[in-house]
Amino acid sequence: MNKAFFKYRGYFNMKKKITSSFIIALMIAGITSSSAFATTANGSVVIGDKTFDLAYANDATNLTEITNAIIEGGEIYVKDFLGNWIDNTTGKIVNESVIPGENGNQVVIATVRANTFGATVNATSTQEGATQYQIFNGTTKISEITNLGTNTVIFPSKTVGDTVIIKLFNVSGVIVATTNVTLVAPIEISPIIKVTNISLNKTTDSLTVDGTDNLIATINPTDATNKAVNWTSSANNIATVDNNGKVTAVSKGTTTITATTKDGINTANCIVTVNGIVAVNSIVTFKDKKLEKVVRATINKPTGTLHKSDVVKIAKLPCEGEGISDISGIENLENLQNLDLYANSISDISALKGLINLKELFLSMSKISDISPLEGLTNLQILWLDGNQISDISSLKGLTNLQELNLASNQISDMSPLKELTNLGNLGLDANKISDISVLKGLTNLQKLKLGVNQISDITPLEGLTKLQVISLEFNQIRDISSLGKLSNLQQINLNANQISDISVLKGLVNLQELYLDSNQISDENLQSLQGELPNCSVY
């Protein structure tokens, strides 16, 4: 029975067969006429990477196209009216993921909208080689051939949800695919109305220290699609601005407040001048009584109201291990140069952003994750932030006066913001999530570097850091230490718990005093040889 069908269609030498419930259906369609299955628009057959409506495939007028598809090769699959895909060779139901037509090789999307005459359709397709399309209702064409992505009129009319047959043609007018397509509504996209200009209610402003003002941005046209504004200050140490345009004066000087539209094209500026007048008799309060206690002890004023004049001259404030959780009020200590908040319970450090005279700041062992308030503290020389919850250190990139920076025991993986901190002599980054240390190659003033307990395997960026005296690289994934060979000033190296076997490069480091090599893959012979070359070095 199968041979009879294929013989009728001219396929007897192709060793193809139609199975399952379609055997009889296709035979009847082939022997009688395509009208026998005019209502089976949901049925389809895939030949190679081409998809055909069953009624269309069984129409004798399409014999050449179907024959060519089979000659081109590929498997044949039939989709029955229950939605099952059937392998034409085995007769078994298969997963739709194996069907070329179901894998997006000839995805067609067609939108439809009402027209005075019939309907307007626009079809697009990802079918390779397809450039044009034509629409059919069963075997009857209802449109002219037109380019993909352009409108065509169909008659009789169709609406959203109707299924049509679409033929795809290449540039030569050859059919490359035929497939069923359900018409969908076009997506209506509102036109984007761009901002033409932005203005502020003030172009200049004058404030005293601690004073505030609100700048108002006006966007034109008023119906612009995106009227969001970004606010920035050219000098946060002079005056800051929040996301709503509120300006807060920090210290004497001049800064430019800029409002920028989201597209980055339109800007408006206000020049803010902050004078040095401070209300020295203003009352100062501290929410955290433990911090207040330290301040009172520092100025020797155990009781009574605290005024700005009482605290403004404090240059050093030791608060180590005091159990402080809230540092609000500390912003009044404008002349602070040394602030030690080691081992407290602080999470919010926003009160520090105006303390531009700070040179030494210790915030170790706390609960800090956001360090953005530090970005304007450009006089900092020593900064400890170890033992916190920090992952983003981008706020540090402008602190170019830093000489000592401790970021150990955090969640840092990206070191790139440190690239410009070329004055660093001491850098601690142990116990983080670092694998790439390439940014270090430019930090040539480093003398002490701690990178233990990370995910480092490549240490070649260290080869030019000739001022290094102490380096810790323990508990990493290092095999090759040849980059250390030229670092002749090294006095202490910790390489414990790596994957090192060759240590010959260390023989030339005559200034070494301490060397840690435990838990590696070093032979006793090589270790003894190294000790012989470095008699003044203790090897552990």
> 408: closest CA among 423, 395, 389, 422?
389
The CATH number of the structural domain formed by 75-183 is 2.60.40.10
**Portions of the chain given CATH number 2.60.40.1080:** 197-275
Instruction: Name residues whose C-beta falls within 8 Å of residue 404's C-beta, 6 or more positions apart in sequence.
Output: 381, 382, 383, 384, 424, 425, 426, 427
Q: Could you give the CA distance from residue 199 to residue 221 in angstroms, rounded to a whole number?
A: 12
According to CATH, the superfamily of the domain at 284-424 is Ribonuclease Inhibitor (3.80.10.10)
Q: Could you give the CA distance from residue 478 to residue 495 in angstroms, rounded to a whole number?
A: 9
Cis peptide before 417 (omega within 30 of 0): no
93 pairs with which residues across the strands?
A: 86
The CATH fold of domain 197-275: Immunoglobulin-like (2.60.40)
User: Which amino acid, one-letter code, is at 121?
Assistant: V
Helix 63-71 and helix 2-9: axis angle, to 10°?
Answer: 110
Q: Which residue has the tokens 């800090």?
A: 368
Q: What is the pLDDT of residue 89?
A: 62
Q: Cβ of 233: how many Cβ atoms within 10 Å?
A: 20
Contact 411, 391 (CB under 8 A): yes
Predicted confidence (pLDDT) per residue in 160-198, tens digit? 889 999 999 999 888 888 888 888 887 665 677 888 999
Q: Cβ of 482: how many Cβ atoms within 10 Å?
A: 13
Say how far residue 201 (Cα) sits from the centre of its chain. 36
Residue 136, CB-side half-sphere exposure with 13 Å CA sphere: 16
Instruction: Name residues whose C-beta falls within 8 Å of residue 317's C-beta, 6 or more positions apart in sequence.
Output: 294, 295, 298, 330, 333, 336, 338, 339, 340
Q: What is the pLDDT of residue 60?
A: 63
Q: What is the pLDDT of residue 281?
A: 72
Tokens of 48: 């190679």
3-state secondary structure at position 295: helix
Contact 488, 512 (CB under 8 A): no
112 pairs with which residues across the strands?
A: 121
Distances (CA, A) of 112 to 104, 115, 154, 456: 21, 9, 10, 58
Q: What is the pLDDT of residue 227?
A: 86
According to CATH, the superfamily of the domain at 432-539 is Ribonuclease Inhibitor (3.80.10.10)
Which parts of the chain register pLDDT below 70?
1-44, 48-63, 67, 69-75, 77, 80-83, 85, 87-92, 94-107, 187-190, 276-280
Q: Provide the H-helix boundaries in 189-337.
A: 289-299, 308-311
Q: What is the pLDDT of residue 191?
A: 74
Cα-Cα-Cα-Cα torsion 323, 325, 330, 336, nearest 10 degrees, comes to 50
**Portions of the chain given CATH number 3.80.10.10:** 284-424, 432-539
**Phi, psi angles (nearest 5°) of residue 506:** -80, -10
Q: What is the pLDDT of residue 26?
A: 32
Q: Could you give the CA distance from residue 55 to residue 59 in angstroms, rounded to a whole number?
A: 6
Q: What is the pLDDT of residue 21?
A: 30
Q: Could you give the CA distance from residue 397 to residue 378 in angstroms, rounded to a whole number?
A: 10
Q: Could you give the CA distance from residue 71 to residue 478 in angstroms, rounded to a whole number?
A: 59
> 134: closest CA among 148, 120, 115, 114?
148
